[in-house]
């Protein structure tokens, strides 16, 4: 297209630039949508997850007829409009009561989705304990070996990490770490879990998959006598028990495109992201100071004063040891001369 | 005096900060995430769920906090800032990687010649006014010639020579040249991106539109040399006789466009094609009883008719 959308004023230009693709991305904005019917449980869950996700969350207050696994076009439309890339949908039907769907987008298209059923929900209000400050980054804890082996739980892990914490940051204020989101599984059943064959398989057997327990705690750091403080946890809420339902795995090609990383120079990586120059700093006087590292000097190779008398003798004895030193020494010297001329 | 509980609380304060697990915890400090790959202990899970979960979480977070507190820190007014390493977990991006901007003609030339990019300061020193002034823009240095109160004019200059206007024209033309070059760079970037054909088609379309966009639809316009007559789209007809295979393909293509029962039903459910409001129509025909009642009635009528026929 020859024509491009041209912003009319500086403000809209800035807004468009903020939406453009960046090398190091911002945190994902989440949209919370309600389906045609959400029960009391789903309403509560969405409200409290939103409280945890704030300020990067947008709430859609109206009900919508959405069936993300059948038709995801409205998700794509909303993602484009709101510059959001993760969705949390709540819907409660007779067939699937108290359902939550987390959908992740790439380039305003659905990358993957996972549906959960809420089995138990304990609200934040039921714990009379201090709560975390909104906007603080949580620490996330996963507990189970399945998060490393089973494809469904690997997906769940990355989805939850993306939902709560998927932002690359350079530094974190240590006293600002206030709360923990802990995700653990019920013990795996004794028989091996059914492997996922394909994504097209509509209703795979999910009854055998263990439940997911999501717990949130506040952290108190107690002095321990060492540099590292001792951690104590207190319940904060919400507490969720989820069971897995349908899912849609990512299209392999799209997944590959989504995992593409910018080429970062090695020195940038060493010094943290975005820093260009290594070993250079400006001191208090405003002078640029550099630090140069040199390898340890080999004094054996140091060129000292050349003396004819020392030359052949020293060379011969050093190289050949107890061989006939006269003949070897003479053979060596013309080669050395030639090399010098080169 | 009993100090045992004081001692106990003191001891609790200095409990160990180390965590021991059979499988080492997988700590990703970049994302503040820790993964405990130890299988869940079934007995303690069943006996006391909440306590077990909190205990495992505490162990994991203790390991994470230990990793975070051993990172290099920088002081700040709110407390120490830990410098985080790059995360080890690969999470998918939300948007594709930004494409590098194609170089302008000057940038390519500079690269070929090895010319380093040099940033010009926006302000320049004005000797007369003894202050820094803008190089361009408001009270810019580039308008100096136009704004000075006395001008040097050559002896053989024409009578109507206006030095102010000449200087202004020169400046304006420099601006115009820059704009032209910018547009050319944009166009070049697009052809490099591979939509040359698209651009050509676009240009042709624009040209065709402008040629018929006069009151006489281009009839009395001045013609240029070698300008071709504007032609519309020529109709093409299929050959009257084609091979069986081609005919079959054509028929199948038509058939595939027709809706099957399933597809049609689904579309009708979506209430009409925009002209007819199906819901309203059904309500009208069924006298407010609804579509299901109407269908039932129709079935009953059909059945009656059949029976009547038999008799």
Q: Among A102, A163, A104, which Cα is nearest to A137's? A: A163
Q: What pLDDT was estimated at residue A274?
A: 46
How far lies A79's CA from each of A58, A86, A111, A258, B95, in Å? Answer: 11, 8, 12, 16, 11
Nearest Cα residue to A103 out of A79, A119, A120, A83: A79
Shortest CA gap A22–chain B (Å): 6
Please state, in angstroms and rounded to a whole number, the distance separating the CA atoms of residues A101 and A68: 8
Q: Confirm whether A293 is domain-assigned.
A: no
A124 or B238: whose pLDDT is higher?
Answer: A124
Radius of gyration, CA atoms only, chain B:
41
Substitution target from A143, A222, A263 for chain B, most B beta carbons within 10 A:
A143
Strand partners, A125: none
Mutation target for A interface from B70, B85, B95: give the one with most A CBs within 10 A: B95
Question: Which residue in B has a C-alpha nearest to residue A159's C-alpha?
Answer: B91
Query: How many distinct structural domains can be found in chain A?
Result: 1
> Domain holding A126: CATH number?
3.40.50.10480
Q: What does the alpha-carbon distance between residue A195 and residue A186 come to, in Å, rounded to a whole number?
A: 18
- pLDDT band, very low/low/confident/very high, at B269 (cuts 50, 70, 90): low
The pLDDT of residue A320 = 45
Distance from CA of A239 to the nearest CA of B (A): 10
Question: Measuring CA to CA, which residue among A108, A163, A165, A159 is closest to residue A137?
Answer: A165
Query: What is the tens place of the pLDDT at every residue in A141-168?
Result: 999 989 998 999 999 999 999 999 878 8
Q: pLDDT digit string (tens) for B125-164?
A: 999 889 999 999 998 999 999 999 999 999 999 999 999 9
Q: What percent of chain B has pLDDT over 70?
A: 89
Q: Which is more confidently placed, A277 or B237?
A: B237
Cβ–Cβ contact B35 with A under 8 A: yes
> Residue B47: enclosing H or E segment and its boundaries?
helix B42-47
Q: Do A107 and B49 touch (CB under 8 A)?
A: no
Look up residue A92 and give its two tokens: 């409660």
Using a CB–CB cutoff of 8 Å, tell me whether B208 touches chain A: no
Q: 75-94 in B: which are within 8 Å (CB) of A? A: 76, 78-84, 86-87, 89-94
Within 10 A of A176 (CB to CB), how many other CB atoms are there? 14
- 3-class SS of residue A219: strand
Residue-wise pLDDT for B86-128, tens only, equals: 888 889 999 999 888 889 999 999 999 999 988 999 999 999 8
pLDDT at A199: 45
Q: Shortest CB distance from A272 goes to which of B37, B69, B83?
A: B83
Contacts of A255 in chain B (CB under 8 A): 92
Strands (E) located in chain B: 26-28, 33-36, 73-74, 81-83, 123-126, 131-134
Other Cβ atoms less than 10 A from the Cβ of B100: the count is 6
d(CA B199, CA B186): 12
A274 touches chain B (CB under 8 A): no
Q: How many Cβ atoms from other residues are within 10 Å of residue A21's Cβ?
A: 13
Nearest to B40 among A106, A187, A222 (CB): A187
Instruction: Over range B263-268, report the average pLDDT.
Output: 64
Give A-chain residues touching B183 at CB under 8 angstroms: none
d(CA B177, nearest CA chain A) in Å: 21
pLDDT the model gives residue A167: 86
**Contact yes or no for B92 and A22 at CB 8 A:** no
Q: Which residues of B touch A1 (CB under 8 A)?
A: 195, 198, 202
Residue A148 lies in a domain: yes
For residue A119, is it within any domain? Answer: yes
Residues of A whose CB is below 8 A from B32: 137-140, 165, 172, 177
Strands A57-63 and A30-34: parallel
Instruction: Provide the β-strand partners of residue A142.
Output: A183, B35
| Segment B161-203, tens digit of pLDDT | 999 999 999 999 999 999 999 999 988 887 777 777 887 888 8
pLDDT for res A47: 94
Tens of pLDDT, residue by residue over A38-66, are 999 999 999 999 999 988 999 998 999 99
DSSP 8-state symbol, A71: B
Q: Note whether B269 contacts A: Cβ–Cβ < 8 A.
A: no
- Position A9 in a domain: no
pLDDT score at A98: 92
In chain A, the N- to C-terminal Cα span, in Å, equals: 61
> What pLDDT sits at residue B201?
85
């994302």: which residue's tokens? B31
- With a CB-CB cutoff of 8 Å, which residues 42-71 of chain A face chain B? none
Q: Is residue A306 part of a domain?
A: no
Q: Considering only CB atoms, which chain A residues are within 8 Å of B25? A: none
Helix/strand/coil for A102: strand
Nearest chain B alpha carbon to A163? B91
Contacts of A148 in chain B (CB under 8 A): 26, 35, 37
What own/partner pairs with CB < 8 Å and gap ≥ 24 does A265-271 have? A269/B86
B218 vs A335: which has the higher pLDDT: B218
- Supply the pLDDT for residue B12: 59
Residue A287 domain flag = no
CB contacts of B23 in chain A (<8 Å) are 145
Does residue A264 lie in a domain region? no
* Span between the terminal Cα atoms of chain B, in Å: 112
Q: Between A and B, how many residue pairs show a Cβ–Cβ distance under 8 A?
A: 221
pLDDT score of A313: 57
Nearest Cα residue in chain B from A157? B35
| B267 close contact with A: CB closer than 8 A | no
Residues of A in contact with B69 (CB under 8 A): 174, 227-229
- Show the domain range for A120: 26-191+202-247
| Positions of chain A with pLDDT under 70 | 1-4, 190-205, 264-277, 311-342
pTM reported for the whole predicted model: 0.65
Residues of chain B with C-beta less than 8 angstroms from the C-beta of A105: 94
Find the range with the poorest average confidence among B77-81, B87-91, B221-225: B221-225
Under an 8 A CB cutoff, do A23 and B97 touch?
yes
ipTM: 0.73
- Flag whether A140 is in a domain: yes
Chain B residue with the nearest C-alpha to that of A30: B94
């Amino acid at each position: 297209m020859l024509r491009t959308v041209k912003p009319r004023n500086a403000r809209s230009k800035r807004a468009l630039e903020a939406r453009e693709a960046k090398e190091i991305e911002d945190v994902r904005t989440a949209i919370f949508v309600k389906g045609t019917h959400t029960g009391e449980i789903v309403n509560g869950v969405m409200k409290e997850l939103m409280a945890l996700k704030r300020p990067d969350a947008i709430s859609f207050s109206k009900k919508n007829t959405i069936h993300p696994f059948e038709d995801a076009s409205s998700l794509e439309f909303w993602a484009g409009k709101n510059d959001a890339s993760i969705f949390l949908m709540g819907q409660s039907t007779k067939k699937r009561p108290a359902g939550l769907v987390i959908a992740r987008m790439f380039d305003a298209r659905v990358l993957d989705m996972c549906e959960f059923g809420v089995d138990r929900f304990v609200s934040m209000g039921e714990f009379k304990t201090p709560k975390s400050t909104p906007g603080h980054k949580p620490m996330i804890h996963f507990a189970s070996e399945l998060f490393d082996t089973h494809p469904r739980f690997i997906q769940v892990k990355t989805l939850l990490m993306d939902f709560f914490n998927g932002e690359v940051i350079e530094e974190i204020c240590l006293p600002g770490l206030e709360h923990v989101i802990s995700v653990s599984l019920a013990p795996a059943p004794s028989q091996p879990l059914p492997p996922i064959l394909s994504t097209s398989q509509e209703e795979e057997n999910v009854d055998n998959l263990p439940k997911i327990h999501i717990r949130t705690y506040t952290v108190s750091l107690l002095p321990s006598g060492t540099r590292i403080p001792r951690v104590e946890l207190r319940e904060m809420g919400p507490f969720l028990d989820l069971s897995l339902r349908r899912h849609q795995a990512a299209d392999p090609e799209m997944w590959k495109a989504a995992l593409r990383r910018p080429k970062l120079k090695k020195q940038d990586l060493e010094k943290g992201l975005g820093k260009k120059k290594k070993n250079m700093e400006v001191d208090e006087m405003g002078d640029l100071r550099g630090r140069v590292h040199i390898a340890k000097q080999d004094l054996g190779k140091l060129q000292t004063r050349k003396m004819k008398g020392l030359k052949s003798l020293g060379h011969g004895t050093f190289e050949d040891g107890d061989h006939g030193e006269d003949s070897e020494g003479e053979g060596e010297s013309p080669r050395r001369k030639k090399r010098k001329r080169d | 005096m009993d100090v045992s509980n004081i001692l106990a609380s003191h001891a609790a304060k200095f409990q160990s900060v180390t965590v021991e697990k059979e499988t080492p915890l997988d700590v990703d400090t970049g994302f503040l995430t820790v993964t405990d790959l130890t299988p869940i202990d079934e007995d303690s899970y069943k006996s006391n769920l909440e306590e077990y979960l909190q205990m495992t979480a505490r162990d994991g977070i203790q390991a994470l906090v230990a990793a975070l507190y051993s990172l290099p820190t920088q002081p700040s007014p709110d407390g120490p800032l830990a410098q985080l390493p790059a995360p080890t977990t690969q999470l998918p991006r939300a948007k594709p990687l930004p494409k590098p901007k194609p170089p302008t003609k000057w940038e390519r030339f500079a690269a070929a010649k090895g010319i380093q990019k040099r940033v010009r300061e926006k302000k320049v020193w004005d000797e007369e006014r003894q202050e820094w002034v803008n190089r361009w823009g408001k009270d810019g240095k580039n308008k100096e010639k136009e704004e000075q109160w006395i001008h040097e004019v050559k002896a053989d200059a024409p009578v109507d020579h206006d030095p102010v206007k000449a200087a202004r024209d020169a400046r304006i033309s420099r601006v115009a040249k820059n704009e032209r070059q910018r547009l050319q760079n944009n166009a070049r970037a697009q052809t490099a991106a591979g939509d040359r054909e698209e651009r050509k088609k676009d240009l042709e379309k624009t040209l065709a539109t402008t040629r018929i966009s006069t009151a006489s639809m281009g009839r009395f316009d001045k013609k240029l040399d070698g300008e071709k007559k504007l032609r519309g789209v020529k109709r093409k007809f299929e050959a009257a006789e084609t091979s069986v295979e081609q005919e079959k393909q054509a028929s199948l293509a038509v058939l595939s466009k027709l809706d099957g029962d399933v597809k049609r039903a689904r579309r009708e459910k979506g209430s009409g094609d925009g002209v007819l409001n199906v819901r309203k129509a059904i309500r009208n025909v069924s006298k407010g009883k609804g579509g299901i009642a109407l269908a039932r009635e129709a079935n009953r009528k059909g059945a009656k008719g059949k029976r009547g026929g038999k008799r």
